[in-house]
Structure 1
């Protein structure tokens, strides 16, 4: 199954790549190794020595270069061999590991998987509510044994809260809520509105709604390629004016490991001026959501993947409901972008992104 290369993906949280050891992760079926230069800049290389194809991630960092664990060749930030300890020390012309552009922002390391010279033409997507200088944040990670688009489907249709998460996130009103779906360019938005809803304690406590009080809740999901979502939740006591609502925002970043495995990064952020209350709330959110995500969402996604197997999603002729509109829009956008890139090369994907932005 092809992936979209001309896009920014989240490769890791910043805390995962440390100063004194390489870090291995497979993205889009490509084994990669990450490390930090002495100044802290993150380097991403293919995790394969060009000499005898040993994994560079098993090596060590010496003087800012990554040493192959098999024969000691060292590779610098550009992927070129900077030391051959054998014979006369001549470096063969082919002694180069592919280097991928990276950026570090919003507490995450982003990677560009397409042609390197194109990376500067596409800005990183906006997740300013995770800027650590202005916000207190908390984050979580799960590895899902399912295609990344199944995870996007899951997040673009939150009516499943009522059935998959009845004791934490859902309520008896979720499926009856008003749903609006729209797209602008290559961005998809789905908004779900529930009025007079009796919230489960986990949600009510997070948003300051007393037990036994009805609430008006709005869930706004924004999706953009290749699998980057923002979920904005607004909650207020039923009948209260909109300005009385408490608002929480979370990021959900889906990066394929393979066609059937997905890195799922999620993070919450609140303004630093909220002080200790904000810090406690974002930690409460991540800790509270980890269990339903891990114990309810993941088993369902993995069961779906087993049912689909290696077949194309559309070949199974899925029955469609109105709640599927956002997920279908996102799938169609990805299919178009991948088809354009496959037909014309990375430049086509770049042009598509430039039109949107």
Structure 2
């Protein structure tokens, strides 16, 4: 399956990557090893020693370098071998493994699987409500045995709350809510409003509403390629907007393979809310992990088993108006991937690229 390569993806939560030991993760079908160098900077390399192809993730971090577990060669943060303990110690010219550009922000380590030069000028997508300097935050991770675009579909269409999350996040009023989808460039937004809802007890407690109170709820989902979403939920007592309470969350989908996804999610609220904000973030992490894990993931994985290796559109899905946001996102990804592949083919066929290739032979 083709992926969009010139884009920032989340490779790991910051807490997963340490200076003590390397960490293995498959990203876009590619085995990658992550660790921190002597300065604490996150490093991402192909998880393959260029000598005998041993997985570097089985090695050790020694003085900020990654030591191969098979013959002890050490690799620096740029992927080049910097130490050969054998013979006269000379390092072969091709003793290097691929190094991926990385950045660290919002409690996550991001990596760029495409052209490294493009990464230098490509900004990270903004999730400012997760800046720990100004916000209380919490992060979590769930592996999902389903294609990442199925997960995006799920988040862009929250009408499933009434059915899949009937006892946790849904209400009988959800299907009658007003839904609008919009596209701005390569960004998709879905706005949903429900009034007079009988919210589930978990949500009533989370938004500090009295038992039996009817609520008005707005849900705004924003999607950016390749699979980066934010969800803002605003809840108030029906007809009392000045008492609105807001929950903000980020959802980052990174393909592991065509049929599996790394699902990272995080919550944030302003520090000027004081202890109330800190507690709401803690509650969000506690309350939503179970619906994600026990209700969304089994459904996504069941869908993936049904689809198998077939193309999604080849199955001729019967679309509903509630699918507008998900369809927009899929079409945008198709276009971006096709444009990237076409550009790569043109560059490979350019006289400059052919001359450079001939010079290396």
- Per the normalisation by structure 1, the TM-score is 0.96
Q: Deviations over 1:157-216 (max 9, x none)?
A: 000000000011000011110000000000000001001111111111111221101111
Q: Displacement, 1:276?
A: 2.1
Number of residues paired by the alignment? 347
- Displacement, 1:115? 1.1
Checking the alignment, whether the CA contact within 8 Å between 2:19 and 2:37 is kept in structure 1 is: yes
CA distance in 2, matches of 1:67, 1:138: 33
Partner of 2:174: 174
* Equivalent in the alignment of 1:322: 321
State how far apart, in whole Å, the 2-side matches of 1:19 and 1:300 are. Answer: 37
The Cα RMSD (Å) is 1.2
Residue in structure 1 matched with residue 311 of structure 2 by the alignment: 312
Q: How does 1:271-350 map to 2 (within 5 A)?
A: 271-345=270-344
Residue 353 of structure 2 aligns with which residue?
A: none
Asked whether the 8 Å contact 2:19–2:64 carries over to 1, the reply is: no
Question: How far apart are 1:139 and its partner, in Å?
Answer: 1.6
User: Any unmatched runs of 5+ in structure 1?
Assistant: 349-357
Please tell me whether the aligned partners of residues 182 and 189 of structure 1 are also in contact (alpha carbons under 8 angstroms). yes
Q: Secondary structure at the match of 1:121?
A: coil
CA distance in 1, matches of 2:188, 2:57: 37
TM-score normalised according to structure 2 size: 0.94
Contact 1:115 1:346 in 2 (8 A): no
Tell me the residue number matched to 2:2. 2
Matched, 1:62 2:72: no
Aligned partner of 1:123 in structure 2 is 123
2:229 corresponds to which residue?
A: 229
- CA apart distance, 1:343: 1.4
Match of 1:85 in 2: 85
> Does 2:268 match 1:262?
no
SS at match of 1:345: helix
| TM-superposed deviation, 1:346 | 9.5
Q: 1:347 to 1:60 in 2, by over 3 A?
A: farther
What pairs up with 1:186-197 in 2 under 5 angstroms? 186-197=186-197
Cα distance in 1 between the residues matched to 2:13 and 2:133: 16
Q: Are 2:99 and 1:99 equivalent residues in the alignment?
A: yes
Give the secondary structure class of the aligned counterpart of 1:191: strand
Instruction: Confirm or deny: 8 A CA contact 1:191 1:220 kept in the other structure.
Output: yes
Partner in structure 2 of residue 136 of structure 1? 136
Q: Secondary structure at the match of 1:171?
A: coil
Structure 1 range deviating more: 281-290 or 153-162: 281-290
CA distance in structure 2 between the aligned counterparts of 1:2 and 1:326, rounded to whole angstroms: 22
Q: Match of 1:195, SS? A: strand
Q: CA deviation at 1:275?
A: 2.3
Give per-residue Cα distances to partners, 1:63-109, cap 9 Å, x unaligned: 11100000111000100000111111111111000000000001110
